[in-house]
Amino acid sequence: MLTKSEENYIKEIYALEQKHKADVNTNLLAEKIETKASSVTDMLKKLAKKELLIYQKYKGVKLNSKGEKIALSVIRKHRLWETFLVEKLDFSWDEVHKVAEQLEHIRSEKLTNKLDVYLNFPKVDPHGNPIPDVNGKLIIIDAVCLDQFEIEEEGIFIEVKDESENFLKYLTKNNIVIGAKIKVLEKEEFDNSFKIEIDRKQFNISENVIKNLYLKK
Partner DNA sequence: ATTAATTTTTAGACACATCTAAATTATAAA
Partner DNA sequence: TTTATAATTTAGATGTGTCTAAAAATTAAT
- Name the site residues for DNA (rule: CB under 7 A): 3, 5-6, 25-28, 33-46, 55, 57-60
Residue 39 interacts, among DNA, Mn ion, a copy of itself, none and using kind-specific CB cut-offs from 5 to 8 Å, with DNA
Query: 123: how many CB neighbours lie within 10 A of its CB?
Result: 12
What's the closest the beta carbon of residue 125 comes to Mn ion, in angstroms? 4
Binding mask 79-98 for Mn ion (x = CB under 5 A): ---x--------------x-
Picked from a copy of itself, DNA, Mn ion, none, the partner binding residue 35 (CB below 5 to 8 A depending on kind) is: DNA
Q: Can you give 127-183 as a three-state secondary structure string?
A: CCCECCCCCCCCCCCCCEEHHHCCCCCEEEEEEECCCCHHHHHHHHHCCCCCCCEEE
103 binds, among a copy of itself, Mn ion, DNA, none (CB under 5 to 8 A by kind): a copy of itself
Cα 139–Cα 13–Cα 108 angle in degrees, nearest 5:
65
**What's the residue count for the chain?**
217
- Does 163 bind Mn ion (CB under 5 A)? Our answer is yes
119: helix, strand or coil: coil
Q: Rule CB under 8 A: which residues touch a copy of itself?
A: 85, 88-91, 95, 98-99, 102-103, 106-108, 110-111, 114-115, 118
Pick 70 or 131: Cβ nearer DNA: 70
Choose the contact partner of 11 out of DNA, a copy of itself, Mn ion, none; CB within 5 to 8 A by kind: none
Please choose which of Mn ion, a copy of itself, DNA, none residue 66 contacts, taking the beta carbon within 5 to 8 angstroms, the exact cut-off set by kind: none
Instruction: Identify which of residues 111 and 177 has a Cβ nearer to a copy of itself in the complex.
Output: 111
Alpha-carbon gap, residue 188 to 14, rounded angstroms:
34
In the chain, which ranges are continuous DSSP H helix? 4-20, 26-33, 37-49, 65-87, 96-103, 109-118, 165-173, 207-210
Cβ neighbours of residue 149 under 8 Å, at least 6 residues apart? 155, 184, 215
**Residues interacting with Mn ion, by CB under 5 A?**
82, 97, 125, 127, 129, 163
